[in-house]
Chains A and B, each alone.
Chain A
Amino acid sequence: MYKIIRNRLEQGHRTSSYPKKPIQLPAIYRGLPMVNADSSLTLARRCAELCPQNAILAEERKIDLGRCTFCGRCAEVQEGDGDYFVRFSQRFELAAVRREDLITSGSLPELAQHAKEQITKLFGRSLQLRQVSAGGCNACEADINVLGTPFFFLSRFGIDFVASPRHADGIMVTGPISRNMRSALMDTYQAVPAPKVVIAAGCCAISGGPFHGSAEIIGDLNTLLPVDLYIPGCPPHPLTTLHALLAYFKQVQS
């Protein structure tokens, strides 16, 4: 007992005051990419050539956040007089409601304004989600689990991950949906009572991620189920997920 009290005192209070107070991530963190609209087409094409994810649309000077792993290679390329194609900002608010909004040059629609009224009304106070891991690398799952640790403490917002789809209001899917998980995923979705939401978390669930092109995966959750919310990243930073859930379901403004 003495040791429990001593450790409790040493550990102190660790829960973040986000979203009441903003959080600044370190400069090396790669969040929302800001594409340089004035960059030359040659440079944009060089970056597109480098991109392992084919996420860069050179002609349009845009990046598809649904494909991007935020590896940052495109931000390293420069041309003679300091011309650059993109810089990654520290903005971790990356989620979107429409797939096409993820193809961006650096601005995303305010998520809270896109939340459907019905969804906020139904799930705004209490939201129970069933997570389905479908073929990824387990990094997305790891950083969703982190939301349960004292720093993020997700349940203080009335949001929880539950054991059974029967108890859930929706599913959060990670991974590129391996062929071998397709039917288990569909069963889980069917077991969730309607009305229900579908969240695609991580670039794998949105586009196949690093595994795009493999014959063993489905690659795009939207081809199987109607996706309500896209959370980009490889994996999404826990704050990206937290922001997405708070903005979309509770209309918390960033």
Chain B
Amino acid sequence: MLKINNGERIDRSQIPRVSSELFHRQLSQFVRNNGFIVQFFAYPEDKQMVLLAVLRNSDLFILETTVGREFPSLTLNAGPQFNLFEREVAEQYGLRPAGHPWLKMLRYHANKSDKPDVFGNNYEEEIPGNYPYFQVQGESVHEVAVGPVHAGIIEPGHFRFQCAGEEVLHLEIQLGYQHRGVEELLQTVPHKRLITIAEGIAGDTSIGHNLSCCQALEALCGLEVAGGASTQRTIALELERLANHIGDLGALSGDVAFNPPAAYFGRIRGEFLNLLLALSGNRFGKGLIRPGGTAFAMGQEARQVIANKIKELRPEILHVCDLLFTAHTVLARFERTGTVTREHAQALGLVGVCGRASGLDYDVREFFPTECYGDLPTISNKVTSGDVLSRAMVRQEEIVHSLNAIDLLLAREEEPCQPVPVEGTDYALAPSSCVVTLNEGWRGEISHCLLTDDQGQLIRYKIKDPSFHNWPGLAMALRNQEISDFPLCNKSFNLSYCGFDL
């Protein structure tokens, strides 16, 4: 395995290409020794297919192997961390992970190779819903089907509950309804469209995903980012985190029918979106980050607007948090609801808020820092029992941490940097190269991996949203819970459908 750095270009020839057996053995051992998967995907090379894996413990590693029509399933031999990754490989390129115990579709689309479909589907037909759900049999067992169109204003996805009375025995989550072919688009469109599409991978994570995209392009083009621009990007990523975490705490409050914090946090979330608008002209920060820096200089005036707003909002946020977390009726609903044990979290490879709430102490900002994170204090979480309360408390701790981080960043003595010129987006990408970027988005570890051919053309653009790791966590959280607690559990994860579906 080759040790690599976050956001550093390497020659593809440096990636160790090992035999299928060694690949299998090394990955199995790595995961058994407290290792985790960052990326695991297939890409075509000449007339053969290659499987590439990026792994992490306290370092990042990369290796690959060639593969024929089949490869031995790592899910079977090394555990459920590989489950969704292998199903994705099967769906994207028609490569069968032999022996996979749960080989089902993820996103309902035809594969991108000339190989026959692993699932035997005809994609000319209406496929969504045509899915072999796991079923529990028994006289008192009943099934509840929810979605793809839900009761609220949220994204589509299907949830199938197997219940005995109120108790959920098993939940199967079937997504794919938001699939819009993002990876395929990124590999084929003119470069000027790249960041616009990256900002649409998950709109609530526009900054996180576009930052990961731009860092990768910077590595492939050898672009330097000025200090001031880095500060601005870091502030933007933290504002995005604040807006979403605060919105989530409000929504959790609303789900247990405690309306005051729901209303207050709902409004305060908007204040942070308006700060992103003050930085970029868009409430989700779309259009802000460009390869090489940012589109708008953050002058003294913008710094002051942010500083003043944070000063104004900080006590309000703390007071509403206090209101929420000291209400015993709220605690009674949050505590010991939807618990994911540390053991399960590790087996599934949960990341971000959900991982940390279950005691997995991993944060990209600390382990593989980009932008200004190397200069900022790290965070540790105190409540890590894996239930709804822990996921809410981790958010509260991160809110305070982000407010402090932005104050520190604003206090830096820096000249505002020049905006990146709008023209010149036909990037000369380094040929035969590979780059992997990681960032701690508000949901957790985002990773983009770009591969170029000997002409500098993108041959593979692989995206991994943290939700890809965490959806199975939600399914586990529902085991033996009352079905009426599903909305609360779901909100405590608040995962992305579009980030998963791509």
Which residues of A line the B interface, CB within 8 A? 3-4, 6-8, 10-11, 14, 25-26, 28-30, 46, 50-53, 69-73, 76-77, 88, 131-146, 148-151, 161, 163-165, 175-176, 178-184, 187-188, 204, 209-211, 213-217, 234-235, 237
Q: Which residues of A contact B153 (CB under 8 A)?
A: 131, 133, 141, 144-145, 161
- The interface stretch among B33-41, B89-97, B318-326, B347-355 is B318-326
Other-chain contact of B177, A161, A181, A214 (Cβ < 8 Å): A181
22 A-B pairs with C-beta separation under 8 A: A3-B326, A4-B323, A7-B260, A11-B263, A11-B264, A29-B281, A53-B196, A70-B287, A71-B196, A76-B421, A133-B154, A139-B200, A146-B266, A146-B270, A161-B153, A180-B108, A183-B126, A184-B149, A210-B200, A214-B182, A234-B282, A237-B283
A-B contact count (CB 8 A): 205
Distance in angstroms between the alpha carbons of A133 and B301 in the assembled complex: 37
Is there an interface contact between B148 and A138, defined as CB atoms closer than 8 Å? no
- The interface stretch among B185-193, B228-236, B427-435 is B185-193
Decide yes or no whether B144 CB sits under 8 A from chain A: no
Tell me the nearest residue of chain B to A69, going by C-beta.
B196
Is there an interface contact between A183 and B422, defined as CB atoms closer than 8 Å? no
Tell me the nearest residue of chain B to A25, going by C-beta.
B277
Write the nearest CB–CB distance from A39 to chain B, whole angstroms: 16
Is there an interface contact between A52 and B196, defined as CB atoms closer than 8 Å? yes
Other-chain contact of B180, A149, A178, A184 (Cβ < 8 Å): A178
Q: Which residues of A contact B277 (CB under 8 A)?
A: 25-26, 28-29
Q: Which residues of A contact B151 (CB under 8 A)?
A: 163-164
Is there an interface contact between A163 and B281, defined as CB atoms closer than 8 Å? no
Is there an interface contact between A180 and B127, defined as CB atoms closer than 8 Å? yes
Q: Which residues of B contact A161 (CB under 8 A)?
A: 152-153
Write the nearest CB–CB distance from B445 to chain A, whole angstroms: 19
Q: Which residues of A contact B443 (CB under 8 A)?
A: none
Other-chain contact of A178, B177, B280, B281, B296 (Cβ < 8 Å): B177
Ranked nearest first, the 6 interchain pairs of A and B with the lowest CB-CB distance are A139-B203, A137-B203, A216-B181, A163-B151, A149-B266, A214-B181
Is there an interface contact between B496 and A181, defined as CB atoms closer than 8 Å? no
Q: Which residues of A contact B320 (CB under 8 A)?
A: 7
Q: Which residues of B contact A7 (CB under 8 A)?
A: 260-261, 264, 319-320, 323
The prevalent SS among residues of A at the interface is: mixed
Distance in angstroms between the alpha carbons of A53 and B195 in the assembled complex: 12
Known contacts A134-B177, A135-B180; 19 further A-B pairs (Cβ under 8 A): A3-B322, A3-B326, A7-B319, A14-B267, A26-B278, A28-B280, A30-B281, A70-B281, A71-B286, A133-B178, A136-B200, A141-B154, A180-B127, A180-B178, A180-B179, A183-B128, A204-B200, A215-B181, A216-B184
Other-chain contact of B203, A4, A29, A140 (Cβ < 8 Å): A140
Is there an interface contact between A71 and B287, defined as CB atoms closer than 8 Å? yes
Q: Which residues of B contact A237 (CB under 8 A)?
A: 283
Write the nearest CB–CB distance from B305 to chain A, whole angstroms: 9
Decide yes or no whether B199 CB sits under 8 A from chain A: yes
A-facing residues in B76-102 (Cβ within 8 Å)? none
Q: Which residues of B contact A137 (CB under 8 A)?
A: 199-203, 206, 498
Other-chain contact of A142, B107, B184, B204 (Cβ < 8 Å): B204
Is there an interface contact between A149 and B425, defined as CB atoms closer than 8 Å? no
Is there an interface contact between A135 and B282, defined as CB atoms closer than 8 Å? no
Is there an interface contact between B156 and A151, defined as CB atoms closer than 8 Å? no
Distance in angstroms between the alpha carbons of A70 and B206 in the assembled complex: 15
Write the nearest CB–CB distance from B257 to chain A, whole angstroms: 14
B219-256 interface code vs A (CB 8 A; 1 in, 0 out): 00000000000000000000000000000000000000
Decide yes or no whether B462 CB sits under 8 A from chain A: no
Identify which of A4, A77, A161 gathers the most chain B CB atoms within 10 Å of its CB: A4
Given that A30-B281, A138-B202 are contacting pairs, would A149 and B267 also be in contact in the complex, using a CB cutoff of 8 Å? yes
Distance in angstroms between the alpha carbons of A139 and B199 in the assembled complex: 10
Distance in angstroms between the alpha carbons of A73 and B191 in the assembled complex: 14
Identify which of A51, A149, A164 gathers the most chain B CB atoms within 10 Å of its CB: A149
Distance in angstroms between the alpha carbons of A132 and B153 in the assembled complex: 7
Is there an interface contact between B284 and A151, defined as CB atoms closer than 8 Å? no
Q: Which residues of A contact B179 (CB under 8 A)?
A: 135, 178-180, 216
Q: Which residues of B contact A141 (CB under 8 A)?
A: 153-155
Q: Which residues of A contact B176 (CB under 8 A)?
A: 180
Is there an interface contact between B148 and A184, defined as CB atoms closer than 8 Å? yes
Write the nearest CB–CB distance from B159 to chain A, whole angstroms: 14
Other-chain contact of B155, A6, A133, A179 (Cβ < 8 Å): A133
Q: Which residues of A contact B327 (CB under 8 A)?
A: 3
Other-chain contact of B295, A72, A148, A210, A234 (Cβ < 8 Å): A72
Other-chain contact of A52, B192, B266, B319, B501 (Cβ < 8 Å): B192
Distance in angstroms between the alpha carbons of A237 and B269 in the assembled complex: 15
Q: Which residues of B contact A26 (CB under 8 A)?
A: 277-278
B192-216 interface code vs A (CB 8 A; 1 in, 0 out): 1101110111111010000000000
Distance in angstroms between the alpha carbons of A46 and B161 in the assembled complex: 55
